[in-house]
Amino acid sequence: MVLETLSLLNYKNFEATEFAFDPKINCFVGNNGVGKTNVLDSIYHLSFGKSYFNPITTQNIKHGSDFFVIEGNYQTENDQERIIVSAKRGQKKTIKRGGKIYERFRDHIGLLPLVIISPADSDLITEGSDVRRKFIDGVISQGDKHYLQQLLDYNKVLSQRNALLKYFALNNTFNQDTLAVYNEQLSALGTPIFNQRNKFIKQFAPIFKERYEAISNASSEKISITYKSSLSDLDMLSLLKEGLAKDKITQYTNFGIHKDDLLFKIDDFPIKKFGSQGQQKSLLIALKLAQFDFIKKQKKVTPILLLDDIFDKLDEQRVTQLLHLVREENFGQIFISDTHAQRTEDIVKQVHKTYKIFKL
């Protein structure tokens, strides 16, 4: 799958611009603030219908404008795809495929597989469990629309149960039968999600470990990724029953798959506390490259790869290791942003693939 052309209108700092891309490597170079990352984000937008860096739609509209339009033309193995994402202040965002508007955004997810590696990925280590859950769900959803629907349904029922708990507290009342209906629904939706996440980690962990060893060049380090869920010990209905007293106090559902987490360890210690900066960077790149491998295997399509500002953030050894991996034929189209034009060109020349450099 190749993105052949990209058109931006009133998107972030771009008033109107167009790009025609190389099928292998495309580099956006220039000073900070000129919009390099914004171009990569627009490509992400075409795949997921939202920004990677700012999910608030109106904040992606250029200052002083009322709307934005992103248009991408893709060449797939058997066909061509024309995708348009547009948003207007005060109106719903739309995604068009071949001129037809999607009724449901979720139907678009997975059509254009994509993986981004960015300095913002450090949130996967430093922030709360919700960031890591989004990572798991994002990877699985690109290859499984049914999973995405289950997740949306679960979150809807969860919101309803939380609203009911607040209603009970405000009105000093309680109805076990009404709550039991939501408990049954959460269990019916949450249990398959738990099983799917468990299955995913079992498949994903060996790929991740292999990628970490290649990036870090340190086979002696014992790296691990573990799925942590309260459903590993109790079924969902039992969890909700045992947690009811706490739920009443907090007016919130405290137990369930919406509290799951990923644990990253190095030599059996949490990498957040005990991992060096280099080890954390290696982990993040390995995580995203494993995501690339997993999606490619599941979808049987080579995802587009976005590398945002990583040459500035990685040491020479990790850049070299990354380039070695990119040289392999299993990678498809790659987009890179960097502040140094000459450094970028020197690096991409080593890959021995065709490339284009766009100076912004």
Mean pLDDT across the chain = 91
**Within a domain: residue 118?**
no
Residues 287 and 147 occupy one common structural domain: yes
Give which of 149, 61, 137, 150 is closest to 104, Cα–Cα. 149
Q: Which domain holds residue 131?
A: 123-299
Residues 170 and 212 occupy one common structural domain: yes
Say what the pTM is.
0.91
**Within a domain: residue 37?**
yes
**Within a domain: residue 71?**
yes
Are the CB atoms for 161 and 175 separated by under 8 Å? Answer: no
pLDDT average, residue stretch 158-172: 96
pLDDT at residue number 214: 82
Q: How far apart are CA 332 and CA 25, in angstroms?
A: 9
pLDDT at residue number 316: 67
Q: Does the pLDDT of residue 96 top 90, yes or no?
A: yes
Q: Does the pLDDT of residue 104 top 80, yes or no?
A: yes
- Number of domain units in the chain: 2
Q: Does the pLDDT of residue 218 top 70, yes or no?
A: no
Q: 3-class DSSP state for residue 111?
A: coil
Per-residue DSSP letter, 61: B
Instruction: Choose one of 299, 327, 346: the last residue of a domain.
Output: 299
pLDDT at residue number 346: 85
Q: Does the pLDDT of residue 113 top 80, yes or no?
A: yes
Read off the pLDDT of residues 278-327 as tens digits, 9 standing for 90 and up.
889 889 989 999 999 999 998 888 999 999 987 777 776 677 667 766 77
pLDDT average, residue stretch 175-183: 95
Instruction: Choose one of 299, 330, 345: the last residue of a domain.
Output: 299
Q: How far apart are CA 206 and CA 297, in angstroms?
A: 14
Q: Does the pLDDT of residue 219 top 70, yes or no?
A: no
Instruction: Choose one of 247, 269, 299: the last residue of a domain.
Output: 299
pLDDT average, residue stretch 128-141: 94
C-alpha separations of 122 from 118, 140, 284 in Å: 8, 20, 7
Q: How far apart are CA 182 and CA 166, in angstroms?
A: 14
The total number of residues written for the chain in this structure: 360
Q: How far apart are CA 69 and CA 88, in angstroms?
A: 9
Residues 155 and 286 occupy one common structural domain: yes
Residues 4 and 44 occupy one common structural domain: yes
Amino acid identity for residue 44 in this structure: Y
Read off the pLDDT of residues 323-340 as tens digits, 9 standing for 90 and up.
766 776 678 899 999 998
Are the CB atoms for 228 and 262 separated by under 8 Å? Answer: yes
**Within a domain: residue 95?**
yes
Residues 325 and 261 occupy one common structural domain: no
Degrees to nearest 5, angle at CA 31 with 26 and 36: 40
Strands 25-29 and 304-308: unpaired
Q: How far apart are CA 298 and CA 280, in angstroms?
A: 27
Residues 354 and 220 occupy one common structural domain: no
Q: What is the CATH number of the domain that holds 229?
A: 1.20.1050.90
pLDDT-based confidence at 220, cuts 50/70/90?
confident
